[in-house]
Amino acid sequence: MTARDWTADRESVFDRDAFTCRHCETVGDDATTIRLHPVGDVPREGTVHESALVTVCADCLDMLETPSAATAVTAETLFHRVRETTRLQGASISDVATFASLSTSLPATLESARDDGTEADSDDAMSDYRCTRRDVLLSMAVVDAHLEELAVLESAVDSDVRPSLEAFTETAATLQSGLIETVELSETVVAGLERCHGCFDSLEGKTCSTCGLEARETADWRHTSGSIAFDQLFGTINETLQDASETTDTLTDRTTALAERLTA
Ligand SMILES: [Zn+2]
Ligand SMILES: [Zn+2]
C-alpha cells in the first residue's frame, strides 16, 4: 500500500480502539505494535476518514496485506488452514447478522429518538453502527486474505487433492459473496435515511462530503411516491443472509470431503 495521509486521524483512532487489535484483541502500547488499517471502500486520494480506519496488531496487518507465496504444504498444514477459514467464516456470518439486525433497526431507533427529543440515543445508535460496520468489514477482509492464500495453494497441492480443495474454495467464495451482498443491502438502509453508510453524516448528493464515500444506490428500493420501501429492503436482507447461512452446510460437507482426501 502506498503511504497515505491519515496522520490527522491517527491519535483519535488509537484512542477510540484503545490500542487493541480489532481482530485478535492483542493489546499494544504504541504505534509500532498497533497499526491502522482501512476497511471498506476508501477514496483513492486524500485523507482516510477515521470512520474507515481500524487498529490491528502487526501480525494481523501482515496477514491482511502480504499475500503468501505458493509453497508446498503438508496435508496437515493445508487442513489446518481450511479449518481456520471455515472458523473465520462462521464468525463473519454472526458479525454480518449483528450488522444487518442493527441496520434494520435504525429507521425506528432514529425516529423514536427524534420524537422523544433524545439526541443521545441517536448518537449512540450512530456510533454503534459505525463500530459494528468496521468490525464486520475487518472480519470479511480477514476471510478474503485466507481465501486468497488458499487460492494460491491450489496450484501447489497434489493433483489428487486439488479438486476437493477447489470445491471447498468455490463454496467459501459463494458464502463470502452472499455476506458481502447482505452488508451492502444493510448499508443501503442508511443511504435510505439520507445518511452516509460509512461515517453516518447527512448526505447531500452522491458523494459524502465528510469521508468521501460514494452513496449506496437506493433507486431500486423506492415506492413510486419516492419514499423508501424499508419493509421490502429488510425482507431481502433477511433472505440474502438466510441463503448465505445455508451455504455453510455445503461448506461443512466439502471440508469433510477434503479431510478424507487428505488422510486417504
Ligand atoms: Zn491482531
Ligand atoms: Zn461519509
Question: pLDDT, tens digit, for every residue of 147-170?
Answer: 999 998 888 888 899 999 999 999
Boundaries of every domain in the chain: 7-64, 73-263
User: How do the pLDDT tens digits run along the chain, 264 residues long?
Assistant: 344 555 556 888 998 999 999 999 999 877 678 999 999 988 777 788 999 999 999 999 999 988 676 677 888 889 999 999 999 999 999 999 999 999 999 999 999 988 988 888 888 999 999 999 999 999 999 999 999 999 988 888 888 999 999 999 999 999 999 999 999 999 999 999 999 999 999 998 899 999 999 999 999 999 999 999 999 999 999 999 999 999 999 999 999 999 999 887
Are 198 and 208 a contacting pair, CB within 8 Å?
Answer: yes
Torsion, Cα 94 98 100 103, to 10 degrees, reads -170
Closest ligand to C-alpha of residue 216 is 2
Query: Distance, CA 63 to ligand 1 centroid (Å)?
Result: 9
Question: pLDDT, tens digit, for every residue of 111-149?
Answer: 998 898 888 888 899 999 999 999 999 999 999 999 999
What 3-state class would DSSP assign to 158? coil
| 162-192 vs 230-263: helix crossing angle, rounded to 10 | 160
Query: Distance, CA 37 to ligand 1 centroid (Å)?
Result: 11
Number of other CB atoms surrounding residue 41 within 10 Å: 13
**Distance in angstroms (rounded) separating the CA atoms of residues 256 and 164:** 10
Q: For the purposes of burial, counting CB atoms within 10 Å of the CB of 58, is it exposed (0-12), middle (13-18) or buried (19 or more)?
A: middle
Number of other CB atoms surrounding residue 8 within 10 Å: 11
Query: Distance, CA 17 to ligand 1 centroid (Å)?
Result: 13
- Give the amino acid at 104: T
Query: Distance, CA 62 to ligand 1 centroid (Å)?
Result: 9
**Distance in angstroms (rounded) separating the CA atoms of residues 257 and 264:** 10
